[in-house]
C-alpha cells in the first residue's frame, strides 16, 4: 500500500515537472514570436490625397464657431493629426483618449477632430469626450475631399501642409505608426518593412 502511494506521488511529481517544462518552452516561444513580429501599421487606402502630396487647403468652421485651417503651411510650425470619428462609432469612442495621449506625447502637433451630421449631436459628443470645440469640425466636404469611407480614420499633415501618413486606425499601435512613418520618411510602416525585406543581404564571408 505504501509502495503504491510512493509510486503514485513520484509519478505525479514527474508529471508536474514535465508540464512545467512544457509551459516554460511555450513561454519562451511566445517571447521569440513577439520579438519577431513587426509592428502593425495603420491600413492606408489608395483613395484621397496620398503621402507626399499637399493636403487640400481648407478653412472650416469649428463647433465653437472659430475658423480652423487645414492644409497649407502652419504659422505656428505645427503638424496636424486629422482624426475622423463619429458619435455612433464605438471604436472611435474607445480610441479617442489614446489619440489625445499620442498627440500630447508628440512635439508641436495639434489634434483636429472631424465628422459630419448634426452639430448638436457632435457638440454633446465633444463634451462627453472632453474635446476642444474649437478644434472639432463638422463638415461633409472634409470627408469627401479626403475620401474617407470607414471610421476611425486619421491623416497626419506636417507643418508645411504635406500629407505624411494616413489610414484606418483601430488601435494605439495604428495611431503611433502614423508618427513613426513620418519620422522614417515613408508613407506607411508596411512600406518600410517591405523595403527592408527587399534589400539584398550581404554574402557570407567564406573562411579559408
pLDDT tens digits, residue range 95-139?
A: 999 999 999 999 999 999 999 999 999 999 999 999 999 999 999
Regarding pTM above 0.85, the answer is no
Q: Is 182 exposed, middle or buried (0-12, 13-18, 19+ CB in 10 A)?
A: buried
Compute the distance between CA of residue 175 and CA of residue 154 in angstroms, rounded to an integer.
Answer: 8
How would residue 12 be classed by pLDDT, with cut points 50, 70 and 90? confident
How would residue 7 be classed by pLDDT, with cut points 50, 70 and 90? low
Compute the distance between CA of residue 124 and CA of residue 88 in angstroms, rounded to an integer.
Answer: 12
Q: Select from 146, 136, 134 the least CA-distant residue to 56.
A: 146
CATH 3.40.50.970 fits 58-189, yes or no: no
Q: Where are the domains of the chain?
A: 58-189
pLDDT digits (tens, 9 = 90+) for 178-201: 999 999 999 888 887 777 655 554
Q: How high is the pLDDT of residue 196?
A: 65
What is the number of helices (H) and of strands (E) in the chain? 6, 7
How would residue 4 be classed by pLDDT, with cut points 50, 70 and 90? low
Q: How high is the pLDDT of residue 25?
A: 64
Q: How is residue 165 annotated by DSSP?
A: E
Query: Which of 120 and 36 is assigned the larger pLDDT?
Result: 120
Q: Is the pLDDT of residue 38 over 90?
A: no
Amino acid at each position: 500500500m505504501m509502495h503504491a502511494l510512493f509510486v503514485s506521488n513520484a509519478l505525479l511529481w514527474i508529471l508536474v515537472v514535465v508540464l512545467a517544462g512544457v509551459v516554460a518552452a511555450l513561454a519562451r516561444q511566445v517571447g521569440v514570436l513577439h520579438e519577431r513580429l513587426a509592428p502593425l501599421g495603420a491600413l492606408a487606402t489608395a483613395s484621397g490625397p496620398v503621402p507626399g502630396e499637399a493636403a487640400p487647403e481648407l478653412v472650416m468652421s469649428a463647433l465653437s464657431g472659430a475658423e480652423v485651417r487645414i492644409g497649407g503651411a502652419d504659422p505656428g510650425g505645427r503638424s496636424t493629426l486629422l482624426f475622423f470619428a463619429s458619435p455612433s462609432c464605438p471604436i472611435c469612442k474607445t480610441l479617442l483618449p489614446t489619440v489625445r495621449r499620442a498627440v500630447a506625447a508628440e512635439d508641436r502637433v495639434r489634434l483636429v477632430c472631424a465628422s459630419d451630421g448634426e452639430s448638436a449631436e457632435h457638440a454633446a459628443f465633444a463634451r462627453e469626450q472632453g474635446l476642444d470645440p474649437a478644434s472639432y469640425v463638422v463638415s461633409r466636404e472634409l470627408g469627401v475631399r479626403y475620401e474617407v469611407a470607414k471610421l476611425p480614420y486619421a491623416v497626419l499633415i506636417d507643418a508645411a501642409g504635406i500629407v505624411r501618413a494616413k489610414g484606418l486606425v483601430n488601435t494605439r499601435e495604428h495611431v503611433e505608426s502614423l508618427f513613426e512613418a513620418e519620422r522614417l520618411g515613408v508613407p506607411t510602416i508596411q512600406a518600410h518593412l517591405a523595403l527592408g525585406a527587399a534589400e539584398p543581404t550581404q554574402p557570407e564571408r567564406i573562411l579559408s
